[in-house]
Structure 1
């Protein structure tokens, strides 16, 4: 297996600086023993104008089988006759992570001025398996800023009628920090191969989020990358998706430029995520709720706020992803939490779209930035499970206001705030949905803005507070819709 990275001189760097970034001296040939074989790093060329680093992985397929590293039928012919020594598979990605691990993290203590520097790079992988065809190579790398040349390799050049093989000769050209380029290769080589050679566990979720969290969330092929990288293990795919979705607020708010200065006596703007939590807490207090379910709690940001207020005597955090609940445990530091506070909290794995009797009878259910992550055809199931079966005294729903998106300067026209959003409602659309749900299930609903209200496009987030009509003093009244805090 062979991979080469070439750079040329820029106005601020010389090409041989690549050796500092890779932490491998251009004048030396180095070898590294790995469980699957031996990795060699060397420089076919290195001077001030042009430098190429090569990673060559020698794989011993017979030794791998004899070592029972892959399991399965050790006598099967495919264990001995295969493309492992030649094609750039997940083994090459592992080798990259081992021998260039510090470069992958973007660290360069010897030359800190090179950290994060954008370099002109050319990456060549002459034999890349493409489970999905050469077009998939373009779909994966082009959105990351690469110019992609992917030429299918013929099964046999002497017999054209046999057609193309599943391999491609790939060249990537782009200008970016070396760490970014390595992260793309580390994640996408196994995705293209489609056959990771090692056991996939929750550690692989951590690796995916750590190495691709900066770019995978907005990648148009995010779902395909996640599924293939995690070998279609549904539990791990759900966990990875949830962790990427947890970046929703950060991604959306980063679209707006930070203020360059803050004048004397002028407070900096409060982040939208905090305004949203405060609005939800205010709505819960308005309904005198004490026993609250945070449905779709993620990593527990709202749970922390609820536990900080003794008025909320029972708090249940619910999420479909077990990994999200595990991270919520860590973030909330349950092992160090006072017993009196810990007794008020329950974490539960469940789904917003299925009936769960354990969630019935609570004062309030919160759906904070949840509904937009569901496919529209799943909304009726959520409505039945929350409003029809759980039937809390109150339901609080927040969701982005699509009209406000034009105020995010770096958000393209027509784009949504997060790639996992299945939809984003305008104020009128949200009001129509809320009114229909209230009428169907016997609730009155009040719409509230969250965040500074723009006179033209409204607030960045919109909130609906539903209250059960049969529990109101005027329970004989019809379920109604109010807006901006108006009376029913």
Structure 2
């Protein structure tokens, strides 16, 4: 639910009047680099998707529990982050490799050379926030962070094993907001190139210096990439692009609202300076190699060149050392959203704050392994199948509910696999089920004692079942 009360100014900031927001969802302008008819550059998958996948991959690996999306726009990243994980937060199921003498490689179908790190982990976000300066996108983003209702179909009605707190703010990145402290991760996808120079100068002191996230992710256009458009001269890109509106350079940008597009060297210098200033380490790379690859020459002639990416990426990770600069300048004056401040005067306005409640099958307790195996056997019998993927089996509400959201409990009840040991294995006797990994596929469950039913038996079973269902329906309805 949203907080509208004003009794406690710390807990209940002034809520933005939704009637003042534009209600029509405007279509965001498309960057010139993503128009293949102009540039001749093709991205597979599309460049925006590559950026989002990169951010999600980093957030998973960092194991963050709270994310703030600055410059969230209509909510494209929030739309992914608001989807609940499929399990409770627990250790991922991975191959057992800690002791080479006891690795689980029971058969030739099992693979010991596949990396599970990207596919086995999920995001377990319990706090999600968005901030954008444009009122035109707030209505769209607000719909995404709002809990589902009987009249909405997003977020999808799937099990949620722990509550999610969401919030959305209207305001600029350069303004400090004490309520935005405490997020473990901050993400800015294609944002800093839209900032005026004076606003960009406040980026470090507010985000890295004051909010102090565990990790901060940035993507921004790479100006070096513009020159490699195969059709740049043919289409006269200078006329189709946009001249630097700040007048600082004679560069032609990809988007009408860009204030800055940095070369790789400029971005690296800027990012490293911000990292040093505020006590962070930074990892710089990129996403988006075009269909006509070009490469930066290597400093070492014996090494291959580095690809020229369409979007540059930076991962700032907080370091143990103290920052060279002090962020105290942010708090040298009495600011709203602090004790004694007046929130109504602050340029940040709260558009909505909600709690997505838990909603899952079962009673939240783990059933005994034999009960789980009985439920699994019922599924296999009903499907008349020998093997299904672990994810398909987990998609059965009764199975997930009896495991209380723990996929490890399911795997353990079926004999275990990898770093997930089996539990209660009937005094050493062989179980009816086996969890296995085939090369090129995800984990699956096989019914060892499966015997296919013949066609006549299945038809008879179906007919009896259907007759019972019809009889039941008609008796309850009092006849036709």
Q: TM (normalized to structure 2)? A: 0.43
Structure with greater helix percent: 1
Q: TM (normalized to structure 1)? A: 0.43
Structure with greater strand percent: 1
